[in-house]
Chains A and B, each alone.
Chain A
């Protein structure tokens, strides 16, 4: 296997406009009102990815430990900020806590992968570390958003039960632990489900990329296994930190439910 990446020239890339036209044609024909979003999304895809491409070339060339650290931390911050859009049930989304849980879970899983499994040289090799951490982050972001959202919606819909448990002398944990479990399950289920169907229903993007890049599919599969399992570990830790710290905020210092939980959503 010595087939390298077949490069895409500018002209060839320009042909992707055809693909946009297909989606645009459907939207225009059925008046879906998506045309503006489609055009804007296409432009952003081109601009963002082109910039990232150049930035990565630069970062890979410098390959400095502190720069890698800074880039990953920045990625965590952006992910923490973005996750808020996926939590319609959470009135005061805790960006700082999201950042903390993403940072901790990503570094935990990422360090195991780069330090123990892939072991690049140097161990902070940007070409390996940044994509690996990026993949972990994208999935963990969705996981924590899902679990936090579920925590709030469950607590709201079961406020009467939780409060009844409080009247039996339950601590906030005793009153809410089944809800906390439900929230963790919600955050982790998509990842665990993807472990079941991977390779059967879909070829994951990373593996596809490696194969297109000329890698032996058997090697690509090994990487994919590592990636799937590291994502699972990171999602589990991320959700645990997120929900573990968040559930207490649904109660006041005296251990009673916060008033907003019992009120209608604003």
Chain B
């Protein structure tokens, strides 16, 4: 298994009353689709997997290595979490795509590849002329969602944690989104964990479900 988590226990909400325990695993090239009603702790699970939040107990393994053996900075760039609300920084689209490479951990591995960025944007139907120079703060919700997805791919993680990434996308752009995701998964050593309410798994080739109940 490329990515798995065992008996991960965590509490929900600020009062920390409800406790959830989940286990799951994904093989290379596949998507783990996390399902469950609102407030079941799907987003929290992703945040814990990304080490943005602590859990009570449990272990996560990436390519057989425990998360305890890997420093937080390296882990977070390998197990990359994409928040539900797209995070846009001041500056142009190109600036936004380059932001990740301001961190040393990432710079040591690779540098910003403008051609690759263009290719991703094109796949996501964001290749109108001058798009790279556009002020990223003026993008529509759907454009912003696809921009941060392209940025996540440029980070080059092994695991993509996606929290309802296609929610602001409609028909054609949603299809494009999943086409790019499926293409990305074809390279070896890549998986995704996807939180999704709707029947988006119909766009995926290889997937399994993880149901969180209340």
Contacts and interface: CB of A to CB of B under 8 A. Distances in A.
Contact of B54 (A163, A165, A254, A263): A254
B52 A168 contact: no
A45 B35 CA distance: 66
B54 A168 contact: no
Contact of A169 (B14, B77, B85): B77
Given A160-B87, A254-B54, A256-B53, A165 B72 contact: no
How big is the B interface, by class? 20 to 34
A257 B54 CA distance: 10
A170 interface: yes
A265 to B, nearest CB: 13
Contacts of B77: 167-169
Interface string B33-66: 0000000000000000011111000000000000
B52 A171 contact: no
A48 B105 CA distance: 56
Contacts of B105: 169-171
A-side interface size class: 20 to 34
A174 B14 CA distance: 28
Central interface residue in B53, B73, B74, B100, by most chain A CB within 10 Å: B73
B53 A259 contact: yes
A259 B104 CA distance: 25
B50 to A, nearest CB: 6
Given A160-B85, A161-B87, A255-B72, A168 B100 contact: yes
A164 interface: yes
A165 B83 contact: no
Contacts of B106: 168-169
Given A161-B89, A163-B83, A166-B52, A174 B103 contact: yes
A215 B135 CA distance: 59
A263 B85 contact: no
A168 B74 contact: no
Interface of A: 160-161, 163-171, 174-175, 252, 254-257, 259, 263
Ordered nearest first, which 3 A-B pairs have the shortest CB separation? A169-B77, A169-B105, A168-B100
8 contacts: A160-B83, A163-B87, A164-B89, A167-B82, A169-B76, A255-B73, A256-B52, A256-B53
